[in-house]
Amino acid sequence: MEKDNNRLDFKTWLRAIWAENVIERDGFNEPPYTQKEYFQKYKYWLKREYRFQQKKPNR
């Protein structure tokens, strides 16, 4: 997700990342996670990734 992610609040950013995951899993013919399942499974990575992307300088 390369778009201006560092301008999104966490919930909006999370929804976009989850939507990408749904598309990716569909490409592998795997059932998608619900938003709740996805967050529970990856919550520590998601929080860390969001913070990292917030610190990136704007291009």
**Torsion of Cα atoms, 9 then 25 then 31 then 37, to 10°:** -30
Give the residue-averaged pLDDT of 40-53: 95
CA-to-CA distance for 49 and 21, rounded, in angstroms?
Answer: 15
Give the residue-averaged pLDDT of 31-53: 96
The pLDDT, as a whole number, for residue 6 is: 46
Six token digits for residue 50: 């969001």
Q: Structural domain boundaries of the chain?
A: 5-55
The pLDDT, as a whole number, for residue 8 is: 83
Higher pLDDT, 57 or 41: 41
The pLDDT, as a whole number, for residue 55 is: 86
**Torsion of Cα atoms, 27 then 30 then 31 then 33, to 10°:** -80
Q: Express each pLDDT in 4-41 by its tens digit.
A: 544 789 999 999 999 999 999 999 999 999 999 999 99
* C-alpha separations of 29 from 16, 45, 48 in Å: 20, 24, 28
Six token digits for residue 2: 């390369």
